[in-house]
Structure 1
Amino acid sequence: MDELELLAHADARGRCYTEANERRRVFPSDEAIAALAAFDEPLPDHGPPAEDTLALLDEVGSPATTASNGPRYFGFVIGAALPAAAAVERLMLAWDQCASTFDNSPVSATLERVAARWVLDVLDLPGDSAVGFGTSATACTLAALVAARRTLLARQGWDFDRDGLLGAPEIRVVVSELAHITVKKALRVLGFGLNRIIHAPVDVQGRVDAARLPRLDDRTILCLQAGEVNTGAFDPFAGIIPLARESGAWVHVDGAFGLWARASSLAHLTQGIELADSWTTDAHKWLNTPYDCAMTICRDAQTLAEAMNSDAVYSSASAYAQKNLTLEFSRRPRGIPVWAALRSLGRDGIAELVERHCAQARRIGDGLARAGFNVLNQVVLNQVLFRCKTDAQTLAVCAAVQASGEAWFGGTLWQERPAMRISVSSWRTRDEDVQALVDLLTALHSGIAKD
């Protein structure tokens, strides 16, 4: 089988997989998981035909996937891949571009520049900000925090690039008590030390309490949240960020999914967020691009470009080339699926996607409350946090949903007790899928409560 025939076979298998999205178990069966043992083989001395490898991957691997590209996956704020974004990914694979600089790939540099401009436009953030398309919220937060620390040290007369951290003025970090693990990981990797991080108290919905905000100064990085991972709540940016700016602190906003509220009628939830110094958000969550694609956005473009610069004598480029805005030197053009998603949806389509998911989340919350569940959050976004009367019932219902194959979401801890968390973020999720989820949970709750 030649190369083009092989690619045609792969495309046909991919089409069959996508066509079966709505009929597939949302979490694979025990038999499908057990069958993965077929991959546990010794490295062959002589490679078999490529079509055999493709067949093995599809016939054994496809049944063992989670149907996160389907309509009834409600875990971890994972969006399905929009058709336009998935299609350009296929073409990008054929291009096989190293998208570090314009010289590597003129088309990639052009489209990522356009995508960056559109992102700032639709999110209503400062138009001269830098946008780096990275792999994940973790990697993009790391880049933003490097820029933050480097800038604050420079204001203290310290050259971080040449002198490092030994003997440098201490930079304090203030984060929410409920800061996402990706923020904590980035801080730990950067050497801030988890025991030295200062935690800002939160209210019952997980919002930073502005009245109890720790002291801020010009040696402080303050990390806020747009969309707390359990409740979907937003920190009070309008009340906090002006105080932080007045003190000289750097404000970073983790907006992995919640930042997209700015592109909809829910923009009021993010009032004041535009005053921050840096932001991170994922495209593979609410914008529904394929994995993996996230963004570092920095108000001062030069600050991010200097912090991430990776020019070499054999590979110099514009300060705002993507290799100088992200951790990756060799990289694929992650901004192209963002461009495709934005272009195919348009401003109205993005707003409709966000607003529909938020309405569906409210419908789920109302249905669960009627079914006797304790809905723990104000459903202001696309997150529904809930539990049963007892912890044992909560754990039983969560396990039953996951085992059913009809839907999937995960468990969590809220105020030191088990809870369940539903995230509505797939473009494929219809109102009937939402109702099916409510009906499933209602039946499970009724059955388990009687036991």
Structure 2
Amino acid sequence: MNEMELLAQADLRGLRYTETNGQRRVFPSDDAIAALVAFDEPLPEQGLPAEDTLALLDEVGSPATTASNGPRYFGFVIGAALPAAAAAERLISAWDQCASTFDNSPVSATLERVASRWVLDALGLPRDSAVGFGTSATACTLTALAVARRELLARLGWNLDDQGLNGAPEVRVVISELTHITVKKALRVLGFGKNHILLAPVDGQGRVDATKLPSLDERTILCLQAGEVNTGAFDPFALIIPHAKKAGAWVHVDGAFGLWARASSLADLTQGIELADSWTTDAHKWLNTPYDCAMTICRDAGALAEAMNSDAAYSSASVDAQKNLTLEFSRRPRGILVWAALRSLGRDGIAKLVERHCAQARHIGDGLARAGFDILNTVTLNQVLFRCTTDTQTLAVRTAVQQSGEAWFGGAIWQGRPAMRISVSSWRTQDSDVEALLALLVRINSETTEVASSR
């Protein structure tokens, strides 16, 4: 089989997989998982036919995937891939571009500049900010916090690039008690020990309590959240950020999914967020691009470009080249996926996508409350946090749903007790899928209650 025939086969297999998104189990069966042992083979002494490798990947691998690209996956705020973005992914894979600089790929540099402009426009953030397209919120947060520390030290007269961290003035970090683990990971990798990180108390919905905020000064990085991972709550930016800026602190906002509320009728939830110094968001969440696609956005474009600069004698580029705005030197043009998604949706489409998911989440919350579940959050975004009467029942219901293959969502620990979390973020999720989820939960809750009472 020649190259063109092989690629055609891959296209056919991919199309068949996509066509069955709505019919496949949302989480693979035990048999499909057990079959993965077929991949556990020794490295071949001689290369095997490419068509055999493709067949193995599809015939054993496809049944063992989670249907996160389908309509009834409600875990971890994972958005399905929009058709325009999925199609763009296929084409740029054929291009196989190293999108570090204009010299590497003129089309990639051009489209990622357009995507940057459109992102700032859609999110209502300062238009002269820089946008770096990275792999994930983790990598992008690492970038943003590295820029923040470097800039705060520079304001104190310390050149981090020349002098390093030994002997440097201490930079403090203040984070929410419920800061996402990726922020904590980024801080750990950057060398901020947890004993030197201050926690800001939160209210019952997970919002930072502005009246109990630790003291801030010109040596402080303050991390806030747009969309707490369990409740979807937003920190009170309009109250906190002006105070932080007056103190000279750097404000970073983790907006992995919640930042996109700003592009909808729910923008009031983000009031004041535009005053921050840096933001991170995932496109593979609510914008529904393929994985992996995220963004570091920095108000001071020069600060980001200087901190991430990777110019060399053999490879220099403009300050806004993506290799100078991200951790990666060699990289694929993931910003093109953002461009394709935004172009296919338009301003109106982004708003409708966000608003529909939030309305569906509210409907789920109302339906679960009527069915006797305990709703733990005020459902203002796309997250529904809930539990059953007992912890044992909560765990039983969650396990049964996950094993059913009809839907999938994850668990959480909220205020010391097990809970369940539904995230609505796939463009494929229709109202009929929401009704099916509610019916499934009511049925499973009844069945597991009966089993427990019969013991």
Counterpart residue number, 1:279: 279
SS at match of 1:395: helix
- TM-superposed CA distance for 1:287, in Å, is 0.2
- In the alignment, structure 2 segments of 5+ residues that lack a partner are none
Which residues in structure 2 correspond to 1:218-297 (within 5 Å)? 218-297=218-297
- Structure 1 CA distance for aligned equivalents of residues 164 and 135 of structure 2: 26
Counterpart residue number, 1:156: 156
Counterpart residue number, 2:340: 340
One-letter amino acid matched to 1:68: S
Contact 1:80 1:428 (8 Å CA) reproduced: yes
- Structure 1 CA distance for aligned equivalents of residues 425 and 194 of structure 2: 31
Show CA shifts across 1:71-124 (max 9, x none): 000000000000000001100011000000000000000000000000000000
Show CA shifts across 1:236-288 (max 9, x none): 00000000000000000000000000000000000000000000000000000
Counterpart residue number, 2:117: 117
- TM-superposed CA distance for 1:444, in Å, is 1.1
Counterpart residue number, 2:141: 141
- Structure 1 CA distance for aligned equivalents of residues 135 and 194 of structure 2: 24
One-letter amino acid matched to 1:195: N
SS at match of 2:174: strand
One-letter amino acid matched to 2:233: A
- Structure 1 CA distance for aligned equivalents of residues 294 and 161 of structure 2: 26
SS at match of 1:418: strand
Is 2:211 the partner of 1:208?
A: no
- TM-superposed CA distance for 1:178, in Å, is 0.1
- Structure 2 CA distance for aligned equivalents of residues 113 and 288 of structure 1: 20
SS at match of 1:399: helix
- TM-superposed CA distance for 1:195, in Å, is 1.8
Counterpart residue number, 1:401: 401
One-letter amino acid matched to 2:344: S
SS at match of 1:77: coil
- Structure 1 CA distance for aligned equivalents of residues 48 and 134 of structure 2: 35
- TM-superposed CA distance for 1:362, in Å, is 0.3
Show CA shifts across 1:34-93 (max 9, x none): 000000001111111100000000000000000000000000000000000000110001
Q: What TM-score results when the alignment is normalised by the length of structure 2?
A: 0.99
- Structure 2 CA distance for aligned equivalents of residues 42 and 206 of structure 1: 49
CA RMSD of aligned residues (A): 0.4
- Structure 1 CA distance for aligned equivalents of residues 296 and 88 of structure 2: 22
Counterpart residue number, 1:328: 328
Q: Could you list the structure 1 runs, at least 4 aligned residues long, displaced by more than 6 angstroms after superposition.
A: none
- Structure 2 CA distance for aligned equivalents of residues 435 and 375 of structure 1: 17
Contact 1:371 1:445 (8 Å CA) reproduced: no
Counterpart residue number, 2:77: 77
- Structure 2 CA distance for aligned equivalents of residues 260 and 187 of structure 1: 24
Is 2:24 the partner of 1:24?
A: yes
- Structure 1 CA distance for aligned equivalents of residues 35 and 195 of structure 2: 44
Counterpart residue number, 1:193: 193
- Structure 1 CA distance for aligned equivalents of residues 168 and 47 of structure 2: 54
Contact 1:74 1:424 (8 Å CA) reproduced: yes
SS at match of 1:289: coil
Question: Alignment length, in residue pairs?
Answer: 451
Counterpart residue number, 2:167: 167
Counterpart residue number, 1:180: 180
Counterpart residue number, 1:58: 58
Is 2:54 the partner of 1:67?
A: no
One-letter amino acid matched to 1:365: G
Counterpart residue number, 1:384: 384
Show CA shifts across 1:345-366 (max 9, x none): 0000000000000000000000
- TM-superposed CA distance for 1:194, in Å, is 1.3
Contact 1:377 1:385 (8 Å CA) reproduced: yes
Counterpart residue number, 1:104: 104
Counterpart residue number, 2:417: 417
Show CA shifts across 1:391-449 (max 9, x none): 00000000000000000000010001000000000000000000000000011112222
Q: Percent identity, aligned pairs only?
A: 82
One-letter amino acid matched to 1:386: F
Show CA shifts across 1:112-158 (max 9, x none): 00000000000000000000000000000000001000000000000
Which residues in structure 2 correspond to 1:336-375 (within 5 Å)? 336-375=336-375
SS at match of 1:173: strand
One-letter amino acid matched to 1:283: A
One-letter amino acid matched to 1:413: I
- Structure 2 CA distance for aligned equivalents of residues 114 and 73 of structure 1: 31
- TM-superposed CA distance for 1:235, in Å, is 0.1
- TM-superposed CA distance for 1:334, in Å, is 0.7
- Structure 1 CA distance for aligned equivalents of residues 446 and 132 of structure 2: 48
One-letter amino acid matched to 2:89: E
One-letter amino acid matched to 2:380: V
SS at match of 2:232: coil
- Structure 2 CA distance for aligned equivalents of residues 239 and 292 of structure 1: 33
SS at match of 2:365: helix
One-letter amino acid matched to 1:421: R
SS at match of 2:51: helix
- TM-superposed CA distance for 1:222, in Å, is 0.1
Show CA shifts across 1:364-396 (max 9, x none): 000100111000000000000000010000000
Contact 1:36 1:60 (8 Å CA) reproduced: yes
- TM-superposed CA distance for 1:196, in Å, is 1.3
- Structure 1 CA distance for aligned equivalents of residues 117 and 206 of structure 2: 32
- Structure 2 CA distance for aligned equivalents of residues 368 and 37 of structure 1: 39
- Structure 1 CA distance for aligned equivalents of residues 188 and 168 of structure 2: 18
- In the alignment, structure 1 segments of 5+ residues that lack a partner are none
